[in-house]
Amino acid sequence: MSKKTLVEAAFGRATDRTPIWFLRQAGRYLPEYRAIRKDIDFVGLCKNPALAAEVTLQPLRRFDVDAAIIFSDILIPCTAMGQHLTFDTGHGPILDHPIRSAQDLFKLRHPHVEKELGYVGDAITLTKKSLRPDQTMIGFAGAPFTVASYMIEGSGSKTFTEVKRLRYTQPQVFEELMELIAAVTSEYLLMQVKAGADCLMLFDTWANQMTAEDYRDLVFPHMNKVIETVKAKWDGPLIYYPGQSMEWLFELNGFHGDVLAIDWRTRLPRAIALIENLGLNVSVQGNLDPQSLLAPESLLRANVRKVLEAGQKARGHIFNVGHGLLPHTPPEALLIAIDEVRKFDKTKGSSH
Protein backbone atom coordinates (compact mmCIF):
# COMPACT_ATOMS: atom_id res chain seq x y z
CA MET A 1 0.00 0.00 0.00
CA SER A 2 1.39 3.38 -0.90
CA LYS A 3 2.28 5.64 1.98
CA LYS A 4 0.89 9.13 2.36
CA THR A 5 3.60 11.48 1.07
CA LEU A 6 2.56 14.40 3.25
CA VAL A 7 2.40 12.35 6.44
CA GLU A 8 5.86 10.93 5.78
CA ALA A 9 7.37 14.36 5.18
CA ALA A 10 5.60 15.72 8.25
CA PHE A 11 7.41 13.12 10.36
CA GLY A 12 10.70 13.80 8.57
CA ARG A 13 10.83 10.47 6.75
CA ALA A 14 12.10 10.13 3.15
CA THR A 15 9.49 10.52 0.40
CA ASP A 16 9.62 9.87 -3.34
CA ARG A 17 8.39 13.37 -4.06
CA THR A 18 7.91 16.70 -2.28
CA PRO A 19 4.34 16.86 -1.01
CA ILE A 20 2.49 19.97 -2.13
CA TRP A 21 -0.85 21.54 -1.32
CA PHE A 22 -2.12 25.11 -1.02
CA LEU A 23 -3.63 26.86 1.99
CA ARG A 24 -7.20 27.80 0.99
CA GLN A 25 -6.90 25.68 -2.17
CA ALA A 26 -10.71 25.37 -2.17
CA GLY A 27 -12.32 28.76 -2.48
CA ARG A 28 -13.32 31.86 -4.35
CA TYR A 29 -10.49 31.87 -6.93
CA LEU A 30 -12.13 28.78 -8.51
CA PRO A 31 -15.17 29.45 -10.76
CA GLU A 32 -16.68 26.07 -9.79
CA TYR A 33 -16.58 27.18 -6.15
CA ARG A 34 -18.27 30.48 -6.95
CA ALA A 35 -20.95 28.55 -8.85
CA ILE A 36 -21.83 26.59 -5.69
CA ARG A 37 -21.69 29.66 -3.45
CA LYS A 38 -24.24 31.44 -5.67
CA ASP A 39 -26.97 29.34 -4.07
CA ILE A 40 -25.77 28.96 -0.47
CA ASP A 41 -24.16 31.18 2.17
CA PHE A 42 -20.74 30.42 3.60
CA VAL A 43 -21.84 29.01 6.96
CA GLY A 44 -24.59 26.96 5.29
CA LEU A 45 -21.97 25.47 2.98
CA CYS A 46 -19.74 24.54 5.92
CA LYS A 47 -22.67 22.79 7.62
CA ASN A 48 -23.69 20.78 4.52
CA PRO A 49 -21.45 17.66 4.36
CA ALA A 50 -22.21 16.81 0.72
CA LEU A 51 -21.51 20.33 -0.53
CA ALA A 52 -18.54 20.83 1.80
CA ALA A 53 -17.01 17.58 0.49
CA GLU A 54 -17.69 18.63 -3.10
CA VAL A 55 -15.98 21.99 -2.59
CA THR A 56 -13.08 20.30 -0.77
CA LEU A 57 -12.54 18.04 -3.79
CA GLN A 58 -12.76 20.74 -6.47
CA PRO A 59 -9.05 21.68 -6.42
CA LEU A 60 -8.06 17.98 -6.50
CA ARG A 61 -9.78 17.61 -9.88
CA ARG A 62 -7.70 20.42 -11.33
CA PHE A 63 -4.39 20.01 -9.54
CA ASP A 64 -2.07 17.14 -8.70
CA VAL A 65 -1.86 18.03 -5.00
CA ASP A 66 -1.02 15.65 -2.16
CA ALA A 67 -3.71 16.67 0.26
CA ALA A 68 -7.29 17.78 0.68
CA ILE A 69 -8.13 20.09 3.58
CA ILE A 70 -11.71 19.95 4.73
CA PHE A 71 -13.68 23.03 3.69
CA SER A 72 -14.73 24.79 6.87
CA ASP A 73 -13.85 27.79 9.04
CA ILE A 74 -11.97 28.12 12.32
CA LEU A 75 -15.03 29.79 13.89
CA ILE A 76 -17.46 26.94 13.17
CA PRO A 77 -17.00 25.46 16.70
CA CYS A 78 -18.07 28.83 18.20
CA THR A 79 -21.52 28.27 16.73
CA ALA A 80 -21.85 25.15 18.91
CA MET A 81 -20.59 27.06 21.95
CA GLY A 82 -23.45 29.54 21.66
CA GLN A 83 -22.33 32.40 19.42
CA HIS A 84 -24.10 33.11 16.15
CA LEU A 85 -21.72 33.36 13.17
CA THR A 86 -22.27 35.35 9.99
CA PHE A 87 -19.94 36.55 7.25
CA ASP A 88 -20.45 40.13 6.24
CA THR A 89 -19.27 40.55 2.62
CA GLY A 90 -15.96 42.37 2.60
CA HIS A 91 -15.81 42.59 6.39
CA GLY A 92 -15.10 39.03 7.44
CA PRO A 93 -16.71 37.07 10.27
CA ILE A 94 -19.12 38.48 12.82
CA LEU A 95 -19.79 36.62 16.11
CA ASP A 96 -22.68 38.01 18.12
CA HIS A 97 -22.59 38.50 21.92
CA PRO A 98 -18.82 39.02 22.22
CA ILE A 99 -17.25 37.60 25.40
CA ARG A 100 -16.15 40.47 27.63
CA SER A 101 -17.17 39.49 31.14
CA ALA A 102 -17.72 36.53 33.46
CA GLN A 103 -21.44 36.72 32.60
CA ASP A 104 -20.69 36.45 28.88
CA LEU A 105 -18.41 33.50 29.54
CA PHE A 106 -21.05 31.83 31.70
CA LYS A 107 -23.49 31.86 28.78
CA LEU A 108 -21.15 29.80 26.59
CA ARG A 109 -21.74 26.06 26.43
CA HIS A 110 -19.30 23.16 26.23
CA PRO A 111 -21.02 21.43 23.33
CA HIS A 112 -21.40 17.74 22.60
CA VAL A 113 -18.92 17.88 19.75
CA GLU A 114 -19.92 14.72 17.85
CA LYS A 115 -23.60 15.64 17.94
CA GLU A 116 -23.33 19.34 17.29
CA LEU A 117 -20.32 19.53 14.98
CA GLY A 118 -20.62 16.08 13.45
CA TYR A 119 -21.29 17.58 10.02
CA VAL A 120 -17.59 18.41 9.77
CA GLY A 121 -16.73 14.76 10.44
CA ASP A 122 -19.33 13.66 7.90
CA ALA A 123 -17.78 15.93 5.27
CA ILE A 124 -14.35 14.45 6.03
CA THR A 125 -15.65 10.87 5.70
CA LEU A 126 -17.34 11.72 2.40
CA THR A 127 -14.28 13.51 1.00
CA LYS A 128 -11.91 10.73 1.94
CA LYS A 129 -13.76 8.24 -0.26
CA SER A 130 -12.51 10.14 -3.31
CA LEU A 131 -8.87 10.40 -2.26
CA ARG A 132 -6.07 8.22 -3.57
CA PRO A 133 -4.32 6.17 -0.88
CA ASP A 134 -1.22 8.37 -1.16
CA GLN A 135 -3.24 11.56 -0.64
CA THR A 136 -3.69 13.01 2.84
CA MET A 137 -6.96 14.16 4.38
CA ILE A 138 -6.28 17.22 6.53
CA GLY A 139 -8.60 18.32 9.34
CA PHE A 140 -8.10 21.60 11.15
CA ALA A 141 -9.09 24.01 13.88
CA GLY A 142 -8.16 27.47 15.06
CA ALA A 143 -5.71 27.51 17.95
CA PRO A 144 -7.32 28.64 21.22
CA PHE A 145 -6.00 32.21 21.25
CA THR A 146 -6.95 32.97 17.67
CA VAL A 147 -10.47 31.64 18.23
CA ALA A 148 -10.67 33.55 21.53
CA SER A 149 -9.70 36.76 19.73
CA TYR A 150 -12.74 36.56 17.49
CA MET A 151 -15.00 35.50 20.36
CA ILE A 152 -13.88 38.52 22.42
CA GLU A 153 -13.77 41.13 19.65
CA GLY A 154 -16.88 39.77 17.92
CA SER A 155 -15.14 40.25 14.56
CA GLY A 156 -11.71 40.69 13.05
CA SER A 157 -9.66 43.50 14.59
CA LYS A 158 -6.63 45.62 13.81
CA THR A 159 -5.89 46.58 17.38
CA PHE A 160 -7.25 43.72 19.54
CA THR A 161 -8.27 46.26 22.14
CA GLU A 162 -10.99 44.15 23.75
CA VAL A 163 -8.70 41.13 23.87
CA LYS A 164 -6.05 43.17 25.65
CA ARG A 165 -8.61 44.80 27.92
CA LEU A 166 -9.92 41.39 29.02
CA ARG A 167 -6.41 40.01 29.44
CA TYR A 168 -5.34 42.99 31.57
CA THR A 169 -8.48 43.73 33.55
CA GLN A 170 -10.15 40.31 33.90
CA PRO A 171 -7.30 37.81 33.53
CA GLN A 172 -9.34 35.04 35.14
CA VAL A 173 -12.10 35.34 32.54
CA PHE A 174 -9.49 35.35 29.78
CA GLU A 175 -7.86 32.23 31.21
CA GLU A 176 -11.15 30.35 31.62
CA LEU A 177 -12.21 31.21 28.09
CA MET A 178 -8.90 29.85 26.80
CA GLU A 179 -9.40 26.66 28.84
CA LEU A 180 -12.89 26.14 27.48
CA ILE A 181 -11.80 26.68 23.87
CA ALA A 182 -8.81 24.38 24.33
CA ALA A 183 -11.01 21.59 25.69
CA VAL A 184 -13.58 21.94 22.89
CA THR A 185 -10.81 22.16 20.28
CA SER A 186 -9.20 18.93 21.47
CA GLU A 187 -12.50 17.06 21.19
CA TYR A 188 -13.23 18.71 17.85
CA LEU A 189 -9.89 17.58 16.39
CA LEU A 190 -10.27 14.03 17.73
CA MET A 191 -13.73 13.89 16.16
CA GLN A 192 -12.12 14.80 12.82
CA VAL A 193 -9.51 12.07 13.30
CA LYS A 194 -12.25 9.53 14.00
CA ALA A 195 -14.00 10.64 10.79
CA GLY A 196 -10.86 10.03 8.75
CA ALA A 197 -8.41 12.93 9.06
CA ASP A 198 -4.84 11.72 8.47
CA CYS A 199 -3.21 14.98 9.49
CA LEU A 200 -4.33 18.01 11.53
CA MET A 201 -3.52 21.68 11.27
CA LEU A 202 -3.88 24.35 13.99
CA PHE A 203 -4.10 27.95 12.81
CA ASP A 204 -2.84 30.61 15.24
CA THR A 205 -3.10 33.55 12.88
CA TRP A 206 -3.31 36.21 15.61
CA ALA A 207 -0.75 34.73 18.02
CA ASN A 208 1.63 37.55 17.22
CA GLN A 209 -0.85 40.12 18.51
CA MET A 210 0.23 39.26 22.04
CA THR A 211 3.61 40.32 23.32
CA ALA A 212 6.19 37.55 23.15
CA GLU A 213 5.96 37.09 26.92
CA ASP A 214 2.18 36.85 26.93
CA TYR A 215 2.37 34.40 24.05
CA ARG A 216 4.73 32.21 26.05
CA ASP A 217 2.76 32.42 29.31
CA LEU A 218 -0.88 32.71 28.22
CA VAL A 219 -1.18 31.47 24.63
CA PHE A 220 1.35 28.73 23.96
CA PRO A 221 0.46 26.47 26.94
CA HIS A 222 -3.20 26.11 25.89
CA MET A 223 -2.28 25.46 22.29
CA ASN A 224 0.33 22.90 23.26
CA LYS A 225 -2.12 21.22 25.65
CA VAL A 226 -4.52 20.71 22.74
CA ILE A 227 -1.80 18.94 20.78
CA GLU A 228 -0.81 16.85 23.81
CA THR A 229 -4.42 15.78 24.41
CA VAL A 230 -4.96 14.85 20.77
CA LYS A 231 -1.63 13.04 20.49
CA ALA A 232 -2.40 10.92 23.56
CA LYS A 233 -5.08 9.19 21.46
CA TRP A 234 -3.71 9.44 17.92
CA ASP A 235 -0.41 8.91 16.12
CA GLY A 236 -0.81 11.20 13.12
CA PRO A 237 1.08 14.45 12.43
CA LEU A 238 0.03 17.97 13.39
CA ILE A 239 0.98 21.20 11.60
CA TYR A 240 0.99 24.50 13.56
CA TYR A 241 0.84 27.95 11.95
CA PRO A 242 2.13 30.48 14.52
CA GLY A 243 1.26 33.63 12.54
CA GLN A 244 3.30 36.13 10.57
CA SER A 245 6.34 36.54 12.71
CA MET A 246 9.39 34.33 13.05
CA GLU A 247 9.77 35.67 16.59
CA TRP A 248 7.48 33.01 18.09
CA LEU A 249 9.87 30.23 17.17
CA PHE A 250 11.82 31.32 20.24
CA GLU A 251 8.84 30.54 22.47
CA LEU A 252 8.12 27.01 21.25
CA ASN A 253 10.18 25.18 23.86
CA GLY A 254 8.48 21.82 24.53
CA PHE A 255 6.26 22.04 21.43
CA HIS A 256 4.30 18.82 20.83
CA GLY A 257 3.54 19.32 17.12
CA ASP A 258 5.37 17.88 14.10
CA VAL A 259 5.42 20.63 11.50
CA LEU A 260 5.68 24.43 11.61
CA ALA A 261 3.91 26.30 8.84
CA ILE A 262 6.16 29.24 7.97
CA ASP A 263 4.61 32.50 6.84
CA TRP A 264 5.80 33.93 3.51
CA ARG A 265 7.07 37.04 5.29
CA THR A 266 9.79 34.95 6.89
CA ARG A 267 12.85 33.83 4.97
CA LEU A 268 12.65 30.06 4.91
CA PRO A 269 16.44 29.42 5.14
CA ARG A 270 16.60 31.61 8.24
CA ALA A 271 13.58 29.94 9.84
CA ILE A 272 15.05 26.49 9.20
CA ALA A 273 18.43 27.51 10.64
CA LEU A 274 16.70 28.94 13.71
CA ILE A 275 14.61 25.80 14.16
CA GLU A 276 17.84 23.80 14.19
CA ASN A 277 19.60 26.21 16.56
CA LEU A 278 16.68 26.08 18.96
CA GLY A 279 16.70 22.28 18.84
CA LEU A 280 13.11 22.03 17.61
CA ASN A 281 12.57 18.62 16.05
CA VAL A 282 10.03 19.59 13.39
CA SER A 283 9.47 19.58 9.65
CA VAL A 284 8.44 22.78 7.87
CA GLN A 285 5.60 23.73 5.57
CA GLY A 286 5.63 26.70 3.23
CA ASN A 287 6.28 29.33 2.23
CA LEU A 288 5.73 30.83 -1.23
CA ASP A 289 4.24 34.34 -1.15
CA PRO A 290 0.71 33.66 -2.48
CA GLN A 291 0.92 36.98 -4.33
CA SER A 292 3.88 35.72 -6.33
CA LEU A 293 1.32 33.59 -8.19
CA LEU A 294 0.64 36.90 -9.96
CA ALA A 295 4.21 37.06 -11.25
CA PRO A 296 5.29 36.22 -14.82
CA GLU A 297 6.00 32.49 -15.26
CA SER A 298 9.79 32.70 -15.13
CA LEU A 299 9.77 34.71 -11.91
CA LEU A 300 7.15 32.44 -10.35
CA ARG A 301 9.23 29.37 -11.22
CA ALA A 302 12.34 31.01 -9.73
CA ASN A 303 10.45 31.80 -6.52
CA VAL A 304 9.14 28.24 -6.25
CA ARG A 305 12.65 26.90 -6.76
CA LYS A 306 14.06 29.11 -3.99
CA VAL A 307 11.49 27.69 -1.56
CA LEU A 308 12.31 24.13 -2.65
CA GLU A 309 16.04 24.65 -2.28
CA ALA A 310 15.61 26.11 1.20
CA GLY A 311 13.33 23.21 2.16
CA GLN A 312 16.13 20.70 1.48
CA LYS A 313 17.78 21.76 4.72
CA ALA A 314 14.74 20.98 6.86
CA ARG A 315 13.98 17.66 8.60
CA GLY A 316 11.08 17.38 6.15
CA HIS A 317 9.47 19.87 3.78
CA ILE A 318 5.85 20.23 2.66
CA PHE A 319 5.60 22.74 -0.17
CA ASN A 320 2.82 25.28 0.29
CA VAL A 321 2.06 28.97 0.12
CA GLY A 322 2.99 30.94 3.25
CA HIS A 323 -0.58 32.21 3.64
CA GLY A 324 -3.95 31.36 2.07
CA LEU A 325 -4.58 31.79 -1.66
CA LEU A 326 -6.34 35.04 -2.50
CA PRO A 327 -9.52 35.38 -4.56
CA HIS A 328 -7.72 36.92 -7.55
CA THR A 329 -5.23 34.02 -7.87
CA PRO A 330 -5.17 32.72 -11.47
CA PRO A 331 -5.73 28.92 -11.19
CA GLU A 332 -3.24 28.38 -14.03
CA ALA A 333 -0.45 29.71 -11.83
CA LEU A 334 -0.93 26.73 -9.48
CA LEU A 335 -0.27 24.38 -12.40
CA ILE A 336 3.04 26.13 -13.01
CA ALA A 337 4.02 25.95 -9.33
CA ILE A 338 3.19 22.23 -9.17
CA ASP A 339 5.11 21.57 -12.39
CA GLU A 340 8.16 23.31 -10.96
CA VAL A 341 7.97 21.19 -7.80
CA ARG A 342 7.80 17.96 -9.82
CA LYS A 343 10.70 19.09 -12.04
CA PHE A 344 12.80 19.86 -8.99
CA ASP A 345 12.11 16.39 -7.56
CA LYS A 346 13.43 14.82 -10.79
CA THR A 347 16.66 16.82 -10.86
CA LYS A 348 17.55 15.82 -7.32
CA GLY A 349 16.78 12.12 -7.81
CA SER A 350 14.01 9.95 -6.48
CA SER A 351 14.64 10.35 -2.77
CA HIS A 352 16.10 12.93 -0.42
Q: How far is the CB of 300 from a second copy (least distance, A)?
A: 9
Q: Which of 289, 301, 331, 352 binds a second copy (CB under 8 A)?
A: 289
**Beta bridge mates, 92:** 88
Q: Which of 264, 286, 304, 338 binds a second copy (CB under 8 A)?
A: 264
Q: Judge whether 150 counts as a catalytic residue.
A: yes
The answer to whether 166 and 204 are in contact (CB under 8 A) is no
Is 91 an interacting residue with respect to a second copy (CB under 8 A)?
Answer: no
Is 285 an interacting residue with respect to a second copy (CB under 8 A)?
Answer: no
Helix (H, G, I), strand (E, B) or coil at 72: coil
- Active-site position among 37, 62, 301, 305: 37
Q: Which of 34, 250, 330, 350 binds a second copy (CB under 8 A)?
A: 250
Q: Closer CB to a second copy, residue 227 or residue 246?
A: 246
Q: Judge whether 37 counts as a catalytic residue.
A: yes
Helix (H, G, I), strand (E, B) or coil at 66: coil
- Active-site position among 64, 73, 122, 289: 73
Is 278 an interacting residue with respect to a second copy (CB under 8 A)?
Answer: no
SS3 content of the chain, % helix, strand, coil (to 5): 50, 10, 35
Is 302 an interacting residue with respect to a second copy (CB under 8 A)?
Answer: no
Residue 151 CA, chain-centre distance (Å), reads 18
Q: Which of 110, 112, 265, 343 binds a second copy (CB under 8 A)?
A: 265
The answer to whether 325 and 294 are in contact (CB under 8 A) is no
Site string for a second copy, 59-78 (x = CB under 8 A): --------------------
Task: Give the neighbor-by-neighbor strand order of the sheet with 317-321.
Answer: 67-69, 136-142, 199-203, 238-241, 259-261, 283-288, 317-321
- Separation CA 288–CA 21 (nearest Å): 11
Q: Closer CB to a second copy, residue 48 or residue 287?
A: 287
Q: Closer CB to a second copy, residue 80 or residue 262?
A: 262
Q: For residue 57, give every residue at least 6 positions away whose Cβ sits within 8 Å of its Cβ, in sequence order, or none.
A: 68, 127, 130
Is 146 an interacting residue with respect to a second copy (CB under 8 A)?
Answer: no
Alpha-carbon distance values, 132 to 5, 65, 79, 86, 220 (Å)? 11, 11, 32, 34, 35
Residues lying near a second copy in the complex (CB under 8 A) are found at 159-161, 164-165, 168-169, 208-209, 211-213, 244-247, 250, 264-267, 270, 289, 291-292, 294-296, 299, 326, 328
Please list the active-site residues: 24, 28, 37, 73, 150
